[in-house]
Chains A and B, each alone.
Chain A
């Protein structure tokens, strides 16, 4: 359980020291007052990255030179043990990270001790939203179940940039085929590993997804997932295929694209272009054949699946952050979501403008006004 959060100059929150309680904590306040900032602080101090921005400098208060976050809590596995972690960020400088008494400069050290899952309005739109959102959804889970996941993604992004740069500008005449192969083979090696890990995560998620979807929608239809990476392989095949064989398939694909890529000056396939789709049991894609309501229910189910997946990984030591999604749901879905949350989650922080939007009673109340946080 997370027990105490200290905030200094994080976005519009200048200074706060908040006791965190078990059960449901409601964070109320008008839009733009800092509710999401509070959730972001909680997420960032426990995970080491922000769900809203890539640059660390963004989270430092405009009028301040540095910001600091610190969280204290208790990890319960066999017995309970106290933990504390936090970081100090200075503008245009690296981070100072502290995990218990260990110092570091790597924000990644914060990740992997305590689970925290954020569900926001974009999750409701996950099914129909941009592929990038779905990739992020699966990658976040992959980074938990596969310790090398983040490293693979980082290396992949790096080699992708190198490859694009080569296709765009570099001298392709001098040992051009050899250069193409050297860049493409490493690219394919990383891509195949990422694909297979993502497929594994998705396969593991199917039962959870169906369980949550059935409870939210009350519907009887089954959800299947299909993986889209241009190989035509089914999800289950992708999970079980020999890695070398997969690399061969992907390499052949890249060979076919070779001429076009050189004209376009761009890498045209890869882990950065993959996607997955939710399908009804008769095979039709939710995106095009599902109603608005079905898509929203499936989006919520994906969000809860992410939470359950994370919670299993962290042996229940996981907090759920819910940002302003109740207002977007109809009464029935709101109630099912509320029931699921109260049933499955030990510590929830839910932000919403009006308390009457909440279909169940909260255990604790925080109010955010112009970055001031008060416990009511």
Chain B
């Protein structure tokens, strides 16, 4: 070890982030050291602040600073439509192009017994409650992995014969691809060609 302990610690922390290897972690750490003290403080602040203030929206589980997120508390959004996504970041992809004006629901994963994720872990009872409280269209945007497919089926079965229009984004989105990385045009096409379940 050639670096002082505090530098080493910073590198270690960076290296724990996703898709950051040892080399990049070191580069980031040196970058921070070369900057003014103020910008390091800003960064530290932003980290703590975000972690402190942000929690899941009590209705849709999207990241939010208040009880209800920006989308849920906007009265101009269509209140009778819910788009079900896997994670908060997926919402960004929809909002970026503004094609959708309804509400969302963030599952936080897909059905995966291997990872111990079942209907409880996905907060499905919360979703069911929302749907039964006056929603008439539900759109699944969960990708096309087998786990996503069985999650859609599971929710469909749990809903029983609740009268509801149910659609899912058209396939065409390659397997394993994250919604957040899909370009707008592909997203638009998938959205417009959604399939009835």
Residues of A within 8 A of B (CB): 151, 155-156, 158-159, 161-163, 165-166, 169-171, 174-175, 177-179, 181-183, 185-186, 189-190
Contacts and interface: CB of A to CB of B under 8 A. Distances in A.
Chain A at the B interface: SS class: helix
A185 B153 contact: yes
30 contacts: A155-B145, A155-B175, A158-B145, A159-B146, A161-B114, A162-B111, A162-B113, A162-B114, A162-B150, A170-B113, A174-B119, A175-B119, A175-B124, A175-B154, A175-B157, A175-B158, A178-B154, A178-B158, A179-B111, A179-B154, A181-B154, A181-B157, A182-B111, A182-B153, A182-B154, A182-B157, A183-B113, A186-B146, A186-B149, A190-B146
Contacts of A165: 113-114
B88 interface: no
B147 interface: yes
A143 to B, nearest CB: 16
Interface centre among A159, A171, A177, A178 (most CB of B within 10 A): A178
A175 B119 CA distance: 8
B24 to A, nearest CB: 15
Contact of B112 (A162, A171, A175, A177): A162
Contacts of B154: 175, 178-179, 181-182
Interface residues of B, number: 20
B151 interface: yes
Nearest to B159: A178
A151 B144 CA distance: 11
Contacts of B150: 159, 162, 182-183, 185-186
Nearest to A93: B21
B118 A171 contact: yes
A158 B146 CA distance: 7
B153 A162 contact: no
Contacts of B146: 155-156, 158-159, 162, 186, 190
Given A158-B145, A181-B157, A182-B154, A170 B119 contact: no
A151 B174 CA distance: 10
Nearest to A166: B113
Nearest to B160: A178
Interface string B73-112: 0000000000000000000000000000000000000011
Given A161-B114, A179-B154, A183-B113, 5 more contacts: A156-B146, A162-B113, A181-B157, A182-B151, A186-B149
